Structure 1
C-alpha cells in the first residue's frame, strides 16, 4: 500500500491496479478498466475519480514518435548558474518552463545546477537551442551531450 501525506488516505491494491492500467493505456474505457480490475463499472469509476481529485493523476498524454515528427536530435545539457540568487534562478526556470523544445528541466545536486533535455530537427537547430540557453541571464556554463541511441524512454512509475 502507498500512503499519501494524509494518514487517512491509503491506496489499496485495487487502486494501484487501476493506476497501473491507466498508466499503461491512458485511453482505456471505464468498462474495460472495471473488467481488468474485477470491479463493476460504478465503483471503478468512483475510485478513478477519487484518485484524480486527490492528485494521484496529473493528466493524460499521448506518446508521440519524435523521429517521425522530424525531431532527429535529442540532447541533455547541464546548466550552471553564476550564483544561486533568485535573480539568476528565476529567469532560467521561467525560460525553461516556457520553452517548447525543452522537454524536461530538473534542478540537480552535483557539479551543475540543472539538467535540461532538448529536442531539435537537426544539429544546427540543436546548436541554436543551446546557444539560446547560454544567453539566458545568470547562466555561466553549459555542457551538452547528444543522445546517439535511445534505450528506454518511459514516464511509467513502478507501481507494485
Structure 2
C-alpha cells in the first residue's frame, strides 16, 4: 500500500513539527497545526500504527561526547553469498561505533558511516570489523567539515 496518498496536509505539518522537536507537547503541536490536543494525539497514534513514525529519539552532539571523528568506510568484497552477507550484517550491527551500513550500486559494495573519537578509535573499529568478517578491500574517508546533517525528511 502506498501510504503517502493517505497523508494529508495536517499530517505533514504534524510530522514536520515532530521532526523539528519530538519533545513538544501535544498542546503545542496541536496549536501549530490547528488541531485539538486529542485530535493531534489520534493522528500521531495512527501514523505510528501505520509505521510512518518509526520511533522518537534524542539527537546528541557527538563532539561534546568525545566522538568528534566521522568516517565513511568503503567496502568491496569478492564474497556475495548469503552466509557472508549474514555474517557482515551481524558484525556491523553489533559494533556500536557504526551508525549506518548501506549496500551500494556501482563499483562500491558497501558504505559504512561510523562515529569515533579519533584515528586510534578508527583503527580499533577497523581491527574489530576485519576480525569479524573477511573483506577484500577497505578504505576510509574522514569528514573534515560537516556542512549539512539532518534527520528530517523533506515533506
**Preserved contact between residue 81 and residue 89 of structure 1 (Cα < 8 Å):** no
**Preserved contact between residue 78 and residue 143 of structure 1 (Cα < 8 Å):** yes
After the TM superposition, which segments of 4 or more aligned residues of structure 1 sit over 3 Å from their partners? none
Deviations 1:67-125, CA, capped at 9 Å, x for gaps: 11001211000111222101211101111112110011111112121110112111111
Q: Which residue of 2 aligns with 1:119?
A: 115
Higher RCO structure, 1 or 2 (CA under 8 Å, sep 6+): 2
Question: Which of 8, 12, 18 lines up with 1:12 in the alignment?
Answer: 8
- Structure-2-length-normalised TM-score: 0.93
Q: Secondary structure at the match of 2:100?
A: strand
Runs of 5+ unmatched residues, structure 2: none
Q: Secondary structure at the match of 1:100?
A: coil
The answer to whether 1:67 aligns with 2:45 is: no
Which whole-Å CA distance do the structure 2 matches of 1:25 and 1:6 have between them? 23
RMSD: 1.5
The answer to whether 1:133 aligns with 2:129 is: yes
Matched residue count = 155
Deviations 1:26-85, CA, capped at 9 Å, x for gaps: 101111111000011211111111001110001111110101100121100011122210
Which whole-Å CA distance do the structure 1 matches of 2:75 and 2:47 have between them? 36
Question: Which of 6, 20, 32 lines up with 1:36 in the alignment?
Answer: 32
- Structure-1-length-normalised TM-score: 0.91
**Preserved contact between residue 78 and residue 116 of structure 1 (Cα < 8 Å):** yes
Q: Which residue of 1 aligns with 2:101?
A: 105
Higher helix share: 2
